[in-house]
Amino acid sequence: GGAMDTRRRACEAARTSLDRRKSMSNVAPSSPEKLAAGNWKMNGTSADLSILETIIRDLAPEAGAGALICPPATLLSAAAHLSKATPLRIGAQNCHEAATGAHTGDISAEMLRDAGATHVIVGHSERRTDHGETDDAVRAKAEAAQRAGLTAIVCVGETEDEREAGRQIEVVTSQLAGSLPDGATADRTIIAYEPVWAIGTGKAATPADIAEIHGAIRSALSTRFGAQGSAMSLLYGGSVKPANAAEIFAVENVDGALIGGAS
Ligand code: PGA
């Protein structure tokens, strides 16, 4: 339907602008990977899997930017099956910190990997808010992802009140410090800066706001993790759509996007 068309176009716009940037610069292997990631949140049933076929068909084989879709857990297996032997990768939206055990309703990182996921989002603001996930909890989930061989997409972002108080850098760097495990590596860690006030509101952060925060994140990562921190991908998320994707990807230290509503 219309929503799915918009999703596909946003993903395409994201990847096209990322590809263009990559081909312009002569990127060293240690540079952050470019990635367009779609977060379907609690949306999608098996009838929506056909969108993946469209995405796969539209993926250029030589594309510089990776493509990832994070469907709800119920669709992971089927999505992974559909995208097998294609460049499209499939991620989950959350995991439990333990590998197995008496945790009714939860899913471990090992189970997600078994279902075909390569990535898992941890600490999305909707989980921090709806489920009270703290930085400590998010760090445990990121550790679980690494233990299972998944790449963790660790989300951080300030609220509107925090930004109005001028505390955005302090809030984001403190979340980052608390949410990342020691020894995090670039091949298993992606950071998503998602200001809470920009998620699902249609009001994306400006390129200047994004440049400020992504610069602060990059410098915190480099200080803590050295070369690994310099090579971690930094995604922006929050109301990314076809109309603003290109200007957001042109921002320094933006390596891609996490796209909700428009994915
Ligand atoms: P949005 O969501 O693109 O709908 O703003 C982004 C996200 O929550 O990852």
Q: How does residue 25 score in pLDDT terms, banded at 50, 70 and 90?
A: very low
Residue 237 Cα to ligand 1 midpoint, Å, equals 6
Q: How does residue 64 score in pLDDT terms, banded at 50, 70 and 90?
A: confident
Please, what is the average pLDDT of the chain? 92
For residue 9, pLDDT over 70 is answered with: no
- Nearest ligand 1 atom, CA 262: 3
Give CA–CA dist 129/27, Å, rounded. Answer: 38
Residue closest via CA to ligand 1's atom 1 equals: 260
* Ligand 1 within 6 A of CB of 181: no
Q: What integer is the mean pLDDT of 48-65?
A: 86
DSSP letters for the chain: -HHHHHHHHHHHHHHHHHHHHHHHS---TTSPPEEEEEE--S---GGGGHHHHHHHHH--TT-SEEEEEE--GGGHHHHHHHHTTSSEEEEES--BSSSSSS-TT--BHHHHHHTT-SEEEES-HHHHHHS---HHHHHHHHHHHHHHTPEEEEEE---HHHHHTT-HHHHHHHHHHHHSPTT--TTTEEEEE--GGGTTTS-PPPHHHHHHHHHHHHHHHHHHHTHHHHTSEEEEESS--HHHHHHHHTSTT--EEEESTT-
- Nearest ligand 1 atom, CA 261: 4
Considering 124, 126, 158, 214, which one is annotated as catalytic?
Answer: 124
Residue 75 Cα to ligand 1 midpoint, Å, equals 19
pTM confidence score: 0.92
For residue 24, pLDDT over 50 is answered with: no
What pLDDT digit, counting tens, does each position of 82-113 carry?
A: 999 999 999 999 999 999 999 999 999 999 99
Residue closest via CA to ligand 1's atom 2 equals: 260
* Ligand 1 within 6 A of CB of 38: no
* Ligand 1 within 6 A of CB of 262: yes
| Residue to mutate (ligand 1; options 40, 156, 191, 239; most atoms within 8 A of CB) | 239
* Ligand 1 within 6 A of CB of 261: yes
What pLDDT digit, counting tens, does each position of 159-189 carry?
A: 999 999 999 999 999 999 999 999 999 999 9
214 assigned to active site = no
124 assigned to active site = yes
For residue 234, pLDDT over 60 is answered with: yes
High-pLDDT (> 70) share of the chain, %: 88
Kindly report the length of the chain. 263
Weakest-pLDDT range from 8-12, 50-54, 73-77, 187-191: 8-12
